[in-house]
Structure 1
Amino acid sequence: MNHYKMTNEKALRYLLAGIASLAVVHALGRFSFTPLLPYFIRDNMLTISQGADLATVNYLGYLIGALLAVRYSGPKFIKKCLVIGLLGNVLVTIAQCFVPQFESLLLLRFLNGITNGIVFVLAPALLLEWFITNNKPQLSGLVYFGVAGGLLAGGLLVDSTATFFQAEQRWIPVAIISLLLATYSITQFVNIQVERPDYKDKDQRLTHNSALFDRRSTPLFLSYIGAGLGYILPMTFLPTLAHDMMSEDSIWITNVWAITSFSCLISIPVWNWIGHRFGDRFALIYTYILQALGVASVLLNPSGTGVIACAILVGNGFLGSVMCTQRLARYFQPHQGPRLSAALIAIYAGSQLIGPWLAKLWIEHGGTLLQSFVVGLGAFIWGLFWTWRTPKT
Structure 2
Amino acid sequence: MISRSILLALLGGTTALVAAHAIGRFAYTPLLPYFLADGLFDLQQGARLATWNYIGYLLGALAAVALYTPARLRLAVPLSLLANTLVTIAQGFANDYDFLLLLRLLNGISNGLVFVLAPALVLEWLAQRKQAHLSGLVYLGFAAGLLLTGWLADAPAQRLHGAQRWWPMALVALPLSVLSVLLLRRLHLREAEAAPPQAAHGRLFDATSSRLFLAYAGAGLGYILPMTFLPTLAQQQLPEGHRLITGAWQWAALACLFSIPLWNALGARYGDRRALVASYILQAVGSAAPLLWPGTVGITLCAVLVGGTFIGSVLLTQRLGRTLQPHQGARLSAALIALYGGTQLAGPWLAGLWIAHGGSLTQSFTLGVAALLWAWFWTWSIPRHLPTGAQL
| TM-score bracket for this pair, using the shorter chain length | over 0.9
Q: Tell me the percent identity.
A: 52
Which of the numbers 15, 24, 41 marks the counterpart of 2:19?
24
Does residue 342 of structure 1 match 2:334?
A: yes
Match of 1:111 in 2: 106
CA deviation after TM superposition for structure 1 residue 76, in Å: 2.5
CA deviation after TM superposition for structure 1 residue 388, in Å: 1.0
Match of 2:200 in 1: 207
Equivalent position SS for 1:169: helix
Which of the numbers 378, 381, 387 marks the counterpart of 2:373?
381
Between the aligned partners of 1:211 and 1:16, the Cα distance in structure 2 is 33
Equivalent pair of 2:273/2:384 in contact (CA under 8 Å): yes
Give the alignment of 1:105-144 within 5 angstroms: 105-144=100-139
User: Counterpart of 2:331 in structure 1: which amino acid?
Assistant: R
User: Counterpart of 1:175 in structure 2: which amino acid?
Assistant: A
Give the alignment of 1:60-75 within 5 angstroms: 60-75=55-70
Equivalent position SS for 1:249: coil
Between the aligned partners of 2:220 and 2:174, the Cα distance in structure 1 is 28
Match of 2:89 in 1: 94
CA deviation after TM superposition for structure 1 residue 135, in Å: 2.0
Measured against aligned partners, the alpha-carbon deviations of 1:337-393 in whole angstroms (never above 9, x if no partner) come to: 210110010010001010000000101111011100000000011011111111112
Which of the numbers 66, 70, 78 marks the counterpart of 2:73?
78
CA deviation after TM superposition for structure 1 residue 71, in Å: 1.1
Equivalent position SS for 2:186: coil
Between the aligned partners of 1:307 and 1:170, the Cα distance in structure 2 is 25
Does residue 156 of structure 1 match 2:148?
A: no
Name the stretch that deviates more: 104-113 or 137-146. Answer: 137-146
Measured against aligned partners, the alpha-carbon deviations of 1:173-196 in whole angstroms (never above 9, x if no partner) come to: 100110011010011122211115
Between the aligned partners of 1:188 and 1:387, the Cα distance in structure 2 is 35
Measured against aligned partners, the alpha-carbon deviations of 1:156-213 in whole angstroms (never above 9, x if no partner) come to: 211112112111000011001100110100111222111153x46x6121112x2101
Equivalent position SS for 1:29: helix
Between the aligned partners of 1:341 and 1:296, the Cα distance in structure 2 is 29
Between the aligned partners of 2:124 and 2:71, the Cα distance in structure 1 is 14
CA deviation after TM superposition for structure 1 residue 14, in Å: 1.3
Equivalent pair of 1:22/1:119 in contact (CA under 8 Å): yes
Match of 1:297 in 2: 289
Provide the alpha-carbon RMSD of the alignment. 1.2
Match of 2:318 in 1: 326
Equivalent position SS for 1:175: helix
Between the aligned partners of 2:129 and 2:287, the Cα distance in structure 1 is 40
Q: TM-score, normalised by structure 2?
A: 0.96
Between the aligned partners of 2:15 and 2:369, the Cα distance in structure 1 is 31
User: Counterpart of 1:142 in structure 2: which amino acid?
Assistant: L
Between the aligned partners of 1:194 and 1:263, the Cα distance in structure 2 is 33
Q: TM-score, normalised by structure 1?
A: 0.96
Between the aligned partners of 2:141 and 2:383, the Cα distance in structure 1 is 30
Does residue 270 of structure 1 match 2:262?
A: yes
Between the aligned partners of 1:248 and 1:165, the Cα distance in structure 2 is 20
User: Counterpart of 1:203 in structure 2: which amino acid?
Assistant: P
Between the aligned partners of 1:356 and 1:196, the Cα distance in structure 2 is 40
Equivalent pair of 2:56/2:108 in contact (CA under 8 Å): yes
Equivalent pair of 1:133/1:196 in contact (CA under 8 Å): no
Between the aligned partners of 1:308 and 1:112, the Cα distance in structure 2 is 29
Does residue 172 of structure 1 match 2:164?
A: no
Between the aligned partners of 1:76 and 1:249, the Cα distance in structure 2 is 52
Match of 1:281 in 2: 273
Q: How many residues of Structure 1 are paired with residues of Structure 2 in the alignment? A: 385
Equivalent pair of 1:221/1:347 in contact (CA under 8 Å): yes
Equivalent position SS for 2:77: helix
CA deviation after TM superposition for structure 1 residue 97, in Å: 0.5
Match of 1:364 in 2: 356
User: Counterpart of 1:362 in structure 2: which amino acid?
Assistant: W
Match of 1:308 in 2: 300
Between the aligned partners of 2:235 and 2:290, the Cα distance in structure 1 is 14
Where in structure 1 are there 5+ consecutive unaligned residues? none
Where in structure 2 are there 5+ consecutive unaligned residues? 386-392
Give the alignment of 1:32-43 within 5 angstroms: 32-43=27-38
Equivalent pair of 1:18/1:143 in contact (CA under 8 Å): yes
Match of 2:388 in 1: none
Equivalent pair of 2:321/2:329 in contact (CA under 8 Å): no
Equivalent pair of 2:84/2:111 in contact (CA under 8 Å): yes
Between the aligned partners of 1:113 and 1:51, the Cα distance in structure 2 is 15
Measured against aligned partners, the alpha-carbon deviations of 1:300-336 in whole angstroms (never above 9, x if no partner) come to: 1111221111111111110111011110111010000
Equivalent position SS for 1:255: helix
Between the aligned partners of 1:46 and 1:311, the Cα distance in structure 2 is 25
